[in-house]
Amino acid sequence: MIQTPPSLRYSGRIAALDIARGIAVLGMFAAHVGPERDGLSGWFLDLADGRSSILFATLAGVSLAILTGRNVPYTGVEFLQAKVRIFTRAALLIAISGVLALMNDIVALILTFYATWFVLAIPFLQWRPRNLFILAGGCWILGPIAATYLNVFFEKAGLYSMGDSSGFLVDTLINGTYVGLVYMGFVFAGLGIGRLDLADRSVAATLAPIGSSLAILGYGTAFLLTKMGMGPTWEDYGSSFVDSGDLGWRMDGMGPEWDPSVSAPSLDMFLGAEPHSGTILEAIGSGGFAIAIIGFLLLGGPILGKVLYPIASVGSMPLSAYSFHIIAIWAIPALVFPDSFAPLAWLVGATLVLCSAWRLVLGRGPLERLLHAASTRASQITAPPPYTPLPVAPNGESPRQ
């Protein structure tokens, strides 16, 4: 395989990615603080719900590519340093999420999931873009099926932990709000995108139509199947893919008993595309939507960074902005289940102003500074000195030490 020389690695901050991150973060604001959905405003909030977190996960993959060499993956000591930076950032994200969880019992925090996906993507960091895209498609198609039937198996066997640390991987990969077996597909897609030469406009010109086509395929198919009476509605899902009451597993004495009468969900459960439903068609449609947004923003070029400076500023410090909105929801009662768009407008406006001012004066966001400083310090690894054999005395014996 012909390797791209490091001198051809694209460099510099890409405004389109900052804007995309800003859109993802502000979309989560809308999903968490928006009023009751009704009419056109409801359509707008539904557009943000679910798709924002998927765009965020896709951009996490792009960030992984940037951390590990962009379109020319690091090797040797550089690659080892990059992996240490990833581990350090993941650990800090879990710690920050733990603090935010103390203030929050409304929003499904994504940061712990995000940290887990970062670490799980490490074995794939040097894969080719084509293979990463294939892997992403596999997660979109097989992930919903695997997660659903693993849930069935766990429910029948009584293997669920009750919220302690032993359930961490189950929650982040299979049974949480953000199903990792599916969301890893978005991370892999973003990693593949980041491994392309994003300075080449032909890449953007390819991503935009491919993403749009996938979005039309996923959402369009779900719409047609629903009209034909084959696909489920959101009410069919309830709060999760599999509800233990519906599955019928029973308790016997002090522990669960395997119930062979429990049946798996209908195949119709895989055919919808409702937000957070975790279906195949939602993964394809929302994954395509994320890719299309990235592609179209890349086509806009650097000028968008100036025109949309406030949104790009939010996207330049997504962790700080995300954490700010969780703290605001905890501190300001008016942001909890509001009956109008006013609280959301105030929150978005304040975030745009604060992030723009901070970026203009201080540059990197406060929590981004923490992650950068800690991960850089942790990764200060240098190559060992070359081995130098001890001199040998004329009689063939090593000299005394």
Domain ranges of the chain: 11-216+280-378
Who's near 246: CB < 8 A, 6+ residues apart?
none
Q: Are 82 and 75 in contact (CB under 8 A)?
A: no
Residue 154 banded pLDDT, cuts 50, 70, 90: confident
Q: What percent of the chain has pLDDT over 70?
A: 79
Q: Are 220 and 314 in contact (CB under 8 A)?
A: no
pTM of the model: 0.85
Most confident of 115-119, 240-244, 337-341, 386-390: 115-119
| Token pair for 331 | 């501190």
pLDDT surpasses 60 at 344: yes
The one-letter amino acid at 32: H
What angle do the packed helices 15-33 and 318-331 form, to 10 degrees? 20
Residue 397 banded pLDDT, cuts 50, 70, 90: low
In this prediction, residue 127 carries a pLDDT of 96
Residue 229 falls in which region: left (phi positive, over 0), alpha (psi -120 to 50) or beta: left
DSSP 8-state assignment for residue 106: S
In this prediction, residue 262 carries a pLDDT of 52
- Give the ranges where 34-75 is alpha helix by DSSP (H): 39-48, 51-67
Cβ neighbour number for residue 215 with a 10 Å cutoff = 22
Q: Are 329 and 33 in contact (CB under 8 A)?
A: yes
Q: Are 273 and 285 in contact (CB under 8 A)?
A: yes
> How far, in Å, are 106, 123, 174, 212 from residue 118 at the CA level?
25, 10, 16, 26
pLDDT surpasses 80 at 156: no
Who's near 290: CB < 8 A, 6+ residues apart?
51, 54, 55, 57, 58, 59, 186, 189, 190, 211
Q: Which residue, chain included where needed, has tokens 């009750």? A: 162
Mean confidence (pLDDT) of the chain: 83
- 3-state DSSP assignment of residue 186: helix
| Angle, CA 53 vertex, CA 49 and CA 59 arms, to 5° | 140
